[in-house]
Every structure is written in structure tokens, then in C-alpha cells.
């Protein structure tokens, strides 16, 4: 039996036919692109885990850690200078060799010792194992391997996974509410179903819906209304 939550009351009030989530997704994608997020969507679509190199991983890991609990626009403003403090993510070995210097300069711009130390600790982990071996551990058990890193938890592991080209969506509050509104209790299944019919990767579905929700007032009502339009014709 489906669990009824506050987030899916919109669906349940109408609820006599299965919503057309592909129609709603295409509508949301058009809004996101028109709002200027086409380049970000294309970037997400270009990611492939097989192509992942050490520099990319260190950069995306740092982005996720720094973003935790903070507004994206703040991190976007600080990230270029933080990247410079960490030698532009050239390699874990270079960061480890200049650990004190990296920490000192990074803390001048971003005064969060736990997050900066997490970046350095992860560089040490990768330097010790070698990136190829660590990448192999991600390939074998992606979510478990990522959550073993400092400052990566049960939600942020999905954020990092999608940003390194793995087929996952981040179950943040916006996506959970959108999924619930059309009768899904699982964000991964919700995004997977859209992905299969819309011919977009799961991470692309994630970024489209997240941007749509972030920039659209009453996004739950609007998404459900778009999803139900075909049934009302």
C-alpha cells in the first residue's frame, strides 16, 4: 500500500489517473533552459564515469563538501579561489605535499576547518591508494565507497555520485516532494522512469527538476498540473 504524505496531497486530490510525468518533465526542462541553465544541463549530460580523472574527482568532491548546508551561489563565488589554494586539483599527491600551505591559504578565504581538513584528508586517502585503485572501489560499490570519505553522508553521496557521471539522483527535499506529488516514494525510481522515456540521463533529470523547483513558485502544483494536462483533454 502506498504511504500518503503531505507532499503528495496534490496528486491524491486529483488522483483518478496516472499523471504524465514525461509531459511535466519536458515542461520543467523548457523552463530551466529558458532561465539560462542550458549549459549546466549540457555539462551534466557530458559526464561519464569511465572518463573520470583524478583532477575531476578532487574538484567535484570539494564542491560537494563545501556546498553542504550552504547556498550554491556562495560556493560558486568562492570556489575558483579555493581551487587555486588546492593547486587547481592537479593531483592528490601535490595537495598532500603542500598540505600546510593549502590549508593556510584556503582557511583565509573559507573559514571552516572541518570542511578544509576533509578535503586534505581525502587527498591523503587517494594519494595512499592511488586514484586508479580508488576509482575501482567506486565502480564496485559506488555509494558505499563515496560515503566512506570524510564529510560525505547518506544524501551527499548521491550528489557526488551524479557529479562524477554515475546514474544517481540526489534525493533532496525538492526532488522528494516532486516525486511524492505524482505518487512516487522513491526519488531514484522517479528519475529513472523519466530518464528511460525522455532519453536523458538520471543526473540530467535530477538537475532539470532541481533547477525547475528552485526557480519556480508553487512548483509542486505547476508540475502536477503539467503532468495531468494530457488526461484532461
**Torsion over CA: 83, 93, 119, 144 (sign):** positive
- For residue 36, is it within any domain? yes
If one counts every other C-beta atom within 10 angstroms of the C-beta of residue 177, the result is 19
Q: Give the pLDDT score at 230.
A: 54
Nearest to 14 by CA among 233, 209, 227: 227
The C-alpha atoms of residue 43 and residue 136 are separated, in whole angstroms, by 24
Residue 83 and residue 152 in one domain: yes
Spatial distance between the Cα atoms of 61 and 66, rounded to a whole number of angstroms: 9
Q: Angle CA(11)–CA(172)–CA(89) in degrees, nearest 5? A: 150
Contact of 117 with 132, CB cutoff 8 Å:
no
Q: Where are the alpha helices (DSSP H) in 47-186?
A: 54-67, 72-85, 92-97, 99-109, 113-129, 131-140, 142-147, 156-163, 173-181
- Tell whether 109 and 155 lie within a shared domain: yes
Q: What pTM does this model have?
A: 0.87
**In the listed set 130, 163, 196, which residue is the last one of a domain according to the structure?**
163
Decide which of 139, 163, 187 is a domain's last residue. 163
pLDDT at 29: 97
Residue in this structure with the C-alpha cell 526557480, named with its chain if needed: 215
Tens of pLDDT, residue by residue, the chain (233 residues): 233 232 333 333 333 335 699 999 999 999 999 999 999 999 999 999 999 999 999 999 999 999 999 988 899 999 999 999 999 999 999 999 999 999 999 999 999 999 999 999 999 999 999 999 999 999 999 999 999 999 999 999 999 999 999 999 999 999 999 999 999 999 999 999 999 999 999 999 999 999 999 999 999 999 999 988 655 55
Please identify, among 137, 163, 189, the residue that sits at the C-terminal boundary of a domain: 163
> Which domain does 215 fall in, by range?
6-47+169-232
Alpha carbon distance 183, 90 (integer Å):
45
Please provide the size of the chain in residues.
233
Amino acid at each position: 500500500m502506498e504511504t500518503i504524505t503531505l507532499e503528495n496531497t496534490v496528486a491524491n486530490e486529483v488522483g483518478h489517473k496516472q499523471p504524465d510525468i514525461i509531459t511535466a518533465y519536458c515542461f520543467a526542462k523548457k523552463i530551466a533552459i529558458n532561465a539560462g541553465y542550458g549549459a549546466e544541463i549540457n555539462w551534466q549530460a557530458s559526464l561519464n564515469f569511465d572518463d573520470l580523472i583524478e583532477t575531476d574527482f578532487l574538484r567535484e568532491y570539494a564542491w560537494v563538501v563545501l556546498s553542504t548546508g550552504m547556498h550554491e551561489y556562495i560556493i560558486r563565488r568562492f570556489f575558483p579561489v579555493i581551487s587555486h589554494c588546492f593547486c587547481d586539483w592537479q593531483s592528490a599527491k601535490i595537495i598532500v605535499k603542500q598540505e600546510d600551505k593549502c590549508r593556510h591559504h584556503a582557511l583565509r578565504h573559507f573559514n571552516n576547518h572541518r570542511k578544509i581538513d576533509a578535503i586534505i584528508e581525502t587527498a591523503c586517502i587517494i594519494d595512499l591508494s592511488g586514484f586508479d585503485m580508488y576509482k575501482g572501489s567506486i565502480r564496485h560499490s559506488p555509494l558505499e565507497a563515496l560515503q566512506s570519505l570524510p564529510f560525505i553522508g547518506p544524501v551527499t553521496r548521491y550528489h557526488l555520485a551524479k557529479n562524477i557521471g554515475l546514474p544517481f539522483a540526489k534525493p533532496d527535499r525538492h526532488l522528494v516532494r516532486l516525486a511524492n506529488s505524482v505518487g512516487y516514494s522513491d526519488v531514484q525510481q522517479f528519475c529513472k522512469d523519466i530518464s528511460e522515456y525522455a532519453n536523458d540521463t538520471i543526473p540530467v533529470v535530477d538537475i532539470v527538476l532541481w533547477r525547475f523547483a528552485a526557480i519556480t513558485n508553487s512548483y509542486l502544483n505547476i508540475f502536477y498540473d503539467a503532468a495531468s494536462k494530457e488526461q484532461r483533454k
